[in-house]
């Protein structure tokens, strides 16, 4: 193709974008867009001609063509023998300082041209995502994008969802569907819970028994009868190739997958596979993969053998998740009874001058942090990691009352806000179907309005400390989420509300305006066959699969 004959040029540091072109301007556009999350600044010109999508966008760049396809933008790949594009066009470029934020962008739409400027490829991705959400009908009933000017950037850098594969492992295709939904709403962190008492889900080449033995439990509680087992063995894990595939798929959508390897508690599956890693000197030691939900006593021994094991696991984790700067190490709900009964654990406490088992947990976490740091990773832990002393370089994920963030912020630690009062999406949303498949862990009313009306920065935090709040995350623990249909019902629309509080400036939030835009998400969700929760509590899709 003779590039000198093309109308418009496009640049991108990673070579993503080429030149794109369209047909004539559209008729007047009177409908407002329903962009979620709401941009930081948006000025629409309703009643004026928009940018027509009557004909597909043409690009000579195969990578951009694929990218626009996945976002749902009408597009066509130009053949090599096309010498001239005629008509309006779109261009994108990267340059530092566009919005002062690496994920920010500016977007200008006129009847003849769309112009994107961003600081990074991520900014261009989010601008294109905004375009995909901006498609409306013009006065002639054809698809168009209103003329508008947008300057946009996220409020928080961490905008996450947690996926629990330990209790129920979703398929690779289902996880990719989750990733697509996250990307559509500009969520950018998938926290992947891969190890727990009820199963170890990450293949390890060095420790194959982790999945051969630790990846299998003898039964699972019955939905609606949580204290009764179904008598059916459950086994699942992700091969390393599957993990690489998921990580790459997410990266192409500017989502970082952050792995979680639980220590020192929630370790029954690992200890069952390799009993020498547990407190084998306690009476009645007989670990097994847990078949019920809850908190259980098996905890890693604070031995050199355990730390060698974890270092080897971290080596594999680093290879599988190269783009995540973090390893989440859990650190929560770690009963100390086995350490109290273990002569070896008590010996370690005495040798290191530790006053109690809480300080032993802090010692354990610090040892693990050094292993992660040595491999170029930082750690994240649940807020229990501050018990016995918080490492000054650890990031704390606050899941209990938000007040637990204060100590970490005052000490100068980064925090990610996930308090269960607002961001545990496995909790009840209020009215729900009278169906055991829709059982939840509690009977509260954590609906999307409660999510939207929250703020990740708790009152009393000074500006210097506010900068330490990396962001916010919704958690989807899967004890009571047996199917993808149920996952979608629990996640949506709450994840959409989460996306807005994570991205949009606090002063721009408006619950009535958001509700209007939320209702306009239904066609997109229906097109993706998402079983979202309706306002009356019923699921959107047919519930044949339980």
Q: Which residues are catalytic?
A: 196, 266, 333
State the DSSP string of 24-61.
SPPSEE-SPP--SSPPSEEEE-TTEE-EE-SS-EEES-
CA angle 372, 378, 380 (to 5 degrees): 105
CB 38 within 8 A of CB 499: no
CA distance 295 to 330: 13
Long-range CB contact pairs, 281-286, < 8 A, 24+: 281/342, 281/343, 281/344, 282/338, 282/341, 282/342, 283/341
Dihedral (C-alpha) 266, 271, 273, 275: value to the nearest 10 degrees? Answer: -170
CB 314 within 8 A of CB 260: no
Alpha helices in 420-538, H assignment, sequence order: 420-423, 448-452, 463-466, 484-491, 494-503, 511-519, 522-527
What are residue 326's phi and psi, to 5 degrees? -120, 155
Q: Residue 204, Cα to own-chain centre: how many angstroms? A: 23
3-state SS of 328-372 is: EEECCCCCCHHHHHCHHHHHHHHHCCCCCHHHHHHHHHHHHHHHH
């Amino acid at each position: 193709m003779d590039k000198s004959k093309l109308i418009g040029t496009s640049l991108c540091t990673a070579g993503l974008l080429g030149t794109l072109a369209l047909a004539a301007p559209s008729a007047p556009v009177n409908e407002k867009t329903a962009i979620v999350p709401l941009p930081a600044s948006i000025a629409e010109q309703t009643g004026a001609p928009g940018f027509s999508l009557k004909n597909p966008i043409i690009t000579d760049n195969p990578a951009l063509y694929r990218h626009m396809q996945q976002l749902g933008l009408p597009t066509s790949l130009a053949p090599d023998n096309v010498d001239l594009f005629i008509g309006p066009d779109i261009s994108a470029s990267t340059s530092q300082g566009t919005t002062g934020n690496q994920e920010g962008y500016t977007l200008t739409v006129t009847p003849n041209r769309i112009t994107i400027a961003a600081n990074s490829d991520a900014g261009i991705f989010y601008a294109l995502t905004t375009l995909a959400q901006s498609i409306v009908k013009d006065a002639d009933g054809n698809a168009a994008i209103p003329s508008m000017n947008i300057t946009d950037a996220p409020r928080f850098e961490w905008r996450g969802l947690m996926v629990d594969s330990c209790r129920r492992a979703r398929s690779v295709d289902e996880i990719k569907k989750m990733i697509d939904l996250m990307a559509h709403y500009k969520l950018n962190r998938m926290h992947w819970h891969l190890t727990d008492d009820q199963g170890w889900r990450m293949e390890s080449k060095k420790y194959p028994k982790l999945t051969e033995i630790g990846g299998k439990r003898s039964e699972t509680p019955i939905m609606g009868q949580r204290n009764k087992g179904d008598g059916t063995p459950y086994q699942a894990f992700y091969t390393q190739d599957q993990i690489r595939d998921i990580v790459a798929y997410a990266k192409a959508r500017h989502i970082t997958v952050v792995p979680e390897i639980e220590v020192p508690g929630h370790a029954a599956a690992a200890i069952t596979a390799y009993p020498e890693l547990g407190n084998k000197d306690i009476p009645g030691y007989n670990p097994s993969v847990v078949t019920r939900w809850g908190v259980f006593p098996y905890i890693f021994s604070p031995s050199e053998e355990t730390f060698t094991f974890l270092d080897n696991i971290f080596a594999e984790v680093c290879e599988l998740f190269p783009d995540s700067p973090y390893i989440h190490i859990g650190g929560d709900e770690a009963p100390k009874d086995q350490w109290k009964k273990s002569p070896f654990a008590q010996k370690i406490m005495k040798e290191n001058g530790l006053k109690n088992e809480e300080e032993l947990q802090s010692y354990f976490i610090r040892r693990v942090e050094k292993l992660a740091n040595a491999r170029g990773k930082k750690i994240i832990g649940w807020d229990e990691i501050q018990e016995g002393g918080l490492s000054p370089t650890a990031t704390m994920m606050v899941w209990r009352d938000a007040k637990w963030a204060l100590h970490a912020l005052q000490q100068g630690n980064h925090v990610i806000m996930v308090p269960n009062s607002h961001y545990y999406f496995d909790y009840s949303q209020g009215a729900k179907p009278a169906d055991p498949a829709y059982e939840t862990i509690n009977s509260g009313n954590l609906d999307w309005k409660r999510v939207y009306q929250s703020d990740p920065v708790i009152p009393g935090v000074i500006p210097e400390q506010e900068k330490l709040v990396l962001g916010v995350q919704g958690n989807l623990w899967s004890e009571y989420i047996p199917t993808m249909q149920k996952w979608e019902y629990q996640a949506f629309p709450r994840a959409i509300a989460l996306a807005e509080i994570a991205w949009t400036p606090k002063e721009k939030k408006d619950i009535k305006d958001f509700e209007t835009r939320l209702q306009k998400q239904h066609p997109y969700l229906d097109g993706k066959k998402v079983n979202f929760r309706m306002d009356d509590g019923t699921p959107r899709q047919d519930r044949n699969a339980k």
